Amino acid sequence: MADVNRGNRPLSPHLSIYRPQLTSMTSILTRITGNAMLIAALLIVWWFLAAATSQAYFDTVNGFVTSWFGDLILFFSVLGLWYHTLAGVRHLIWDNGYALDIPTAEKLGWACIGGAVVLTILTVLIV
């Protein structure tokens, strides 16, 4: 049975008053990009399966993958891949006990975001 008299204990902060930190947002983004890469991998597998099935089916799937929408999906997949990779390196740094103070952790968060954008643009330009 719940205690009716809570005393002066504070309630948990509600989402409407909680200010998310950069480190929590980058952690959530790491999870999102990990799941998004699974969807991109399934798209590539679909493309390979179509190539192994028939020319007509491959032409259909290839038309989708190389369309503007497919290019957009692959662009964001590359962005997610670079971000997820850099966030993994950040976690390796943290696992070794370095850069755990908040200012440095926030700098690493911005480095992951900025580095992912720069590396994605370089990848698109080179490839």
* Residue set of the binding site for heme: 84
Residues making up the annotated binding site are: 84
Burial of 33 (0-12, 13-18, 19+ CB in 10 A): buried
**What span, in angstroms and rounded, lies between the C-alpha atoms of 66 and 87?**
29
Total number of residues shown for the chain = 127
